[in-house]
Structure 1
Amino acid sequence: MAEFIVSPNQEQQVKKLKRFLEGWRMALLPLKSIILWEQQWHPCAIIGSVSFLYTLIWLLDLNSLATFAVIGLFLNFVDFIVPVICNSLYGPSAWTGQHEKTFEEVCKSIVATYNKSLHSIHQFYSLRETSPYMYYILSISLLLTLAWVASSINNIFLMYILSTVMLLTPGVRHRGIFNTLLTMVNMAPKSVKSE
């Protein structure tokens, strides 16, 4: 994981997040390695898990409200059972200084990503005062495109694609795949304009 410069405000956020995720700390360590693709099979596990979940949602064929209720029940169940299982499998002696350091890195990474996303949203909305034409052109174009795509493609499939991309993005960034692709594009021969 990249090193993050942590401000005093972010330090408070990290402490709050560590307290909030206390029961999940033993589960977060293997999740970190899966999300960052530390093994070659991790991207396949992510795609397989997301595919299984969305296939189940598709097979149940529930209406929207029932789907949200089932997802909420599932998340509540997981939030209850994971700390219970982690506490029963791993005692307090299993938590080492290295684990604590990794847990701190995960929390810093989550806080930094959250703050970066919030900053991007604030920058977009600040366009409303600084450049209202650009703001309305971007927002209307984005909303029209979103409405067109959502009416053309099945919503469950769109959520599947969005979930898969969101879960694969940290691994792509960690492995530098996106930078490699950009480098390859920049190294491609440029076409010469003939006069």
Structure 2
Amino acid sequence: MVDEAESTTTSATESIYRKAAVSNNPDMGFEEEMKNLKNKLNGWKQVLQPLYSALIWEQSYYPAILTGIVTLIFILLWYFEPSVLTTFSLLGIVVCVADYAVPIMCSTFLDASKWTETQENKHEEICKAIIQTKQQTSELWSSFIQLRDTMPKLYFVSVLVILLVVAWIGNVVDSMLLTYFLVLAIVMMPGLKHQGIIQKFISQRAQQLKNILGQKLKKN
């Protein structure tokens, strides 16, 4: 009993020191998170690489394939008209089966000894992209919460306007069609970001706004 208590105390102390070290050194936290994620996705790495290649549009025909897959899924949903509960249950079944079967199939049918250094670097790139997306989402949420604390009136008006617009769109546009466009946008987002299309679009709109403001200032 004493040994178990000492072991528990030692583990807790090591955990505290590890957290303190991570907070003092963000790079260490990123490396540790990277290592943990690589270990978790170790059974999926053969599958993630072609999926990641498709999502970032490494080939010019990948956007058409992704659009076709999403469209086919929603055509099947429209044709069979399953209930919301049935749809989420089927989605859960697919995720559960994939989580169990994919690592087993990869270890059984794919030779791990043929895994190259280039593929390992690609696996690290995928893990890094996942962590960065997670961090960006967390930062966006933190900024949203900070806006509520610093400028509550602006937060209230912004949220109210956004919700009213979303409610109006949901009332005008069919829910299935709206969900289709939403899922399609989520699937296309990594490719749009990786290819620089989003950044180019924002830069063009910012330049147009700058030109408009400049013309108005000249007139005044």
2:147 to 109, 127, 136: 127
Is the 1:14–1:108 contact (alpha carbons within 8 Å) kept by the matching residues of 2?
Answer: yes
RMSD of aligned residue pairs (Cα, Å): 2.3
Aligned partner of 1:20 in structure 2 is 40
Distance between the aligned counterparts of 1:53 and 1:168, measured in 2? 15
The structure whose residues are more often helix, as a share, is: 2
Identical residues among aligned pairs (%): 30
Amino acid at match of 2:43: G
Maintained 8 Å contact 1:172/1:178: yes
Q: Deviations over 1:155-185 (max 9, x none)?
A: 2222211111111111112222233445555
Q: Are residues 1:110 and 2:130 paired?
A: yes
2:116 alignment counterpart: 96
- Which position in structure 2 is the counterpart of 1:165? 185
The equivalent position to 2:80 in structure 1, one of 56, 60, 67, is 60
TM-score normalised to structure 1 length = 0.87
Give the SS at the match of 1:39: coil
Read off the aligned partner of 1:88 and give its amino acid letter: T
| Partner of residue 198, structure 2 | 178
**Structure 1: 4+ residue segments shifted above 4 A:** 182-185, 190-195
Aligned to 2:95: 75
Letter of the aligned partner of 1:20 in structure 2?
K
Unaligned runs of 5+ in 1: 1-5
What is the CA–CA distance in structure 2 between the aligned matches of 1:38 and 1:163, rounded to whole Å? 20
The alignment covers a number of residue pairs equal to 190
Residue number among 58, 62, 73 corresponding to 1:42 in the alignment? 62
Structure showing greater Rg: 2
Structure 2 segments unaligned to the other structure (5+ residues): 1-25
Q: How far apart in 2 are the matches of 1:92 and 1:104?
A: 16
TM-superposed deviation, 1:80: 2.5
- Matched with 2:31 is 11
1-side partners of 2:43 and 2:85: how far apart?
30
SS at match of 1:19: helix
TM-score (norm 2): 0.77
* 1:86 aligns with one of 95, 106, 120: 106
